[in-house]
Amino acid sequence: MIERITNLLTSEDDQNLSFIKLTRRLLIVVMIATAVILVMTSGVTGVGYNPSAVLVLSISLLVEILAYIRLSRGNILFAKITVPLSLLIGISVIAMTTNGLRDVSILAIPVVIIISAIMLGKNALYITTPIAVILTTIVAIQSIYAKKIATPVGIDDAVIVPVLVAASSGITHLLIQRLNENISRAKESEALEKQENAELTALRANLEERIQFRTSELETANQIAEKQASQFQALARVTNVISSVQTLDSLLPLITQVISEQFNVYHVGIFLLDNQGEIVILRAANSTGGQKMMDNKYSLPMKQTGIIGYVTSTGQPRIMPNIEADSYNPELPNTRSAVALPLRYAGRIIGVLDVQSEKPEAFQPDDLAVFSTLSNQVAVAINNALTIEDAQRALAEAQSAIGQITQEAWKVLRPSKLGLGFTYSDIGIKPLEKPLNNEEINEVITKGKVLLKKNDDKNGQILAVPIRLRGQVIGVMQLKSRNANILTEDEADIASAVAERLSLAIETATLLQSTQHRADIEKITAEITTRVSSSSRFENILQTAAQELSKALGGSEVLVQIEPAALKMYT
């Protein structure tokens, strides 16, 4: 029962700080008013002493003080109940002991009802108003039967005053209810506004977060785009530089240097597989540590468990984003991240491109596209250099073989087919009867260079040009100008060009004659073999072989003999 009454008298405003402050101020005003009235009724002015009023007001003041103390400790319910009741009882007692309904204290009842409405809210209509009507009725009845009241109270006064009290209470309640409704609507509006503001704040925060996220995404995308553009520019520069070098020994160091400069990495190494395809050998590096590794002939097995072995065995690139100090290679202590890429040509791995940086996480998965393209370009350049070297080696071997054949043919054919040379003068052209031997010819044969000098015996100049066969001087073409004619550099160039054409013609003729000579030998050999094979008797075979060989050799004496020991083996 008590709990139900407590719940009835309790409201949400009891926890509201503003309502608690209002109640505290109201209590202070009530206590001051009670204290003033108490003083006035105590007879300090010489008149109006009322012992009953003094007693009741003193009790009311004590109750109000106690309520204030309880309110300060957080208990507002005691003040909400006791203050209106004590005031109503005090007013009733004062009225009954003085002029009844005609006493001025009755005017305080509406004030008490207002105070009760403020403190109890809508519950004041059901609690304080009935109590006020009952007490007013009691005062009215007492006033009717009292003899000492100057102006007697009639039944009409006993009815009118309670009705007025009830009407005042109802009007006050309606007014307070209207105010409460306005306050409720204001609170609802405030709550709605707060909710809308909260939603707007959340929306703004969400928009700001999305804008910040989009901005961050755009910045990241721009950074990635700028990085990729820079990487592709670096890739184009690397490709442009390495495409102009054709020798492998010059190409590999150039590749490591250009990649290091363009991609801002401190170490670039190139590993190539050996001929057996079992070991990868460090062939080039740009860093000091890499140079030391090359001096120590650094190499790794193809199936090695490290990053290089992984790339050579799987053919897949690999990134190491974070490398602790001294855990990768003692010669490269500054390495904090690395990427290794296969050098693949025509589906076959020929080596590994090793790129290392001093910055952690310098290589990301998004960078593999650029670095894979780079490794492909490097592989193509290396393969082209290897192909060119193989072609140059084969060409050199072919030229050496042709030169050897030409020289052998020259040695065989020159004595029988060529004379010492020819000379042309005003009387015509004629063969040389003996070799020319002078200072100019000997100098040209010795040095192999064109000689242009003044003729000491006659006016004019002497021009001597070497005639070469496969790089070796085999003769000299000498020109002497008539009278005071001067041979110019252009004329010397013409003579040199003619000498080169003459060398080619001699080489061609020598090879042709050598081929014809070999063909003649093969033909004679085939004819002798055919005639020998046509005989079935042993004596005829030997006789035919001797006769045909003698004919082929220009009537030379031929002896064909079979050892007696050999005859015994087949008889």
Q: Assess contact for 360 and 336: CB atoms under 8 A.
A: yes
Measure the CA–CA gap between 327 and 321, rounded to whole angstroms: 13
User: Residue 564 belongs to what domain range?
Assistant: 535-569
Q: Are 494 and 545 contained in the same domain? A: no
Together in a domain, 54 and 193: yes
Same domain, 385 and 437: no
Structure tokens at 51: 């012992």
Same domain, 290 and 247: yes
Q: DSSP state, 476?
A: E
Residue range 58-115, pLDDT digits in tens = 888 888 788 888 878 877 777 777 777 777 777 777 777 777 666 666 767 777 777 7
CA distances from 145 to 141, 153, 425 (A): 7, 8, 185
Cα-flanking dihedrals φ and ψ of residue 51, to 5°? Answer: -60, -40
CA dihedral angle for residue 106, residue 109, residue 110, residue 112, rounded to 10 degrees: 150
Could you read off the pLDDT of 401-448 as tens digits, one per residue?
666 655 555 555 554 444 567 777 767 777 777 777 777 777 777 777
- Ranges of the chain with pLDDT below 50: 153-161, 163-164, 167, 171, 326, 415-418, 567, 569-570
Residue 457, SS3 per DSSP:
coil
Asked if residue 521 and residue 541 are part of one domain, the reply reads no
Distance CA 252, CA 255 (A): 5
Q: Could you tell me the CA-to-CA distances from 510 to 414, 514, 517 in Å, in that order?
A: 9, 6, 10
- d(Cα 142, Cα 148) in Å, to the nearest integer? 11
DSSP summary character for residue 367: G
Task: Report DSSP state, residue 458.
Answer: S
Asked whether residue 564 is assigned to any structural domain, the reply reads yes
191, two tokens: 């709550």
- Do residues 188 and 299 both lie within one domain? no
For residues 522 and 543, membership in a common domain is answered with no
Structure token digits, residue 123: 């519950």
**Can you give the pLDDT at residue 417?**
46
Q: Are residues 63 and 189 in the same domain?
A: yes
* 484 lies in some domain: yes
Class of residue 7 by CB neighbours under 10 A (exposed 0-12, middle 13-18, buried 19+):
exposed
Residues 44 and 191 in one domain: yes
Q: How far apart are CA 463 and CA 451, in angstroms?
A: 6
Helix/strand/coil percentages in the chain, nearest 5: 65, 10, 25
Does some domain include residue 336?
yes
Whether 466 maps to a domain, the answer reads: yes
Which pLDDT belongs to residue 1?
56
222: in domain: no
- The CATH number given to whatever domain includes residue 434 is 3.30.450.40
End residue of a domain, out of 373, 391, 409: 391
Looking at the 3D structure of the chain, how many domains does it have? 4
Q: Within a domain: residue 104?
A: yes
Contact 339, 363 (CB under 8 A): yes
**448 within a domain of the structure (yes/no):** yes
pLDDT of residue 158: 46
Task: State whether 516 and 539 are in the same domain.
Answer: no
Distances in whole angstroms, Cα of residue 537 to Cα of each of 37, 40, 305, 544, 562: 178, 182, 76, 11, 14
Please indicate, yes or no, whether residues 124 and 76 belong to a single structural domain of this protein: yes
Written as one string, the DSSP assignment of 395-427 is HHHHHHHHHHHHHHHHHHHHHHH--S-EEEETT
pLDDT at 558: 64
CB 344 within 8 A of CB 330: no
Distance CA 284, CA 250 (A): 10
Task: Assess if residue 234 is contained within a domain.
Answer: no
C-alpha closest to that of 423 among 413, 436, 410, 411: 436
Which residue(s) pair with 475 in the sheet?
467
As a whole-number percent, the residues of the chain with pLDDT over 90 amount to 1
Instruction: Please check whether residues 10 and 133 belong to one and the same domain.
Output: yes
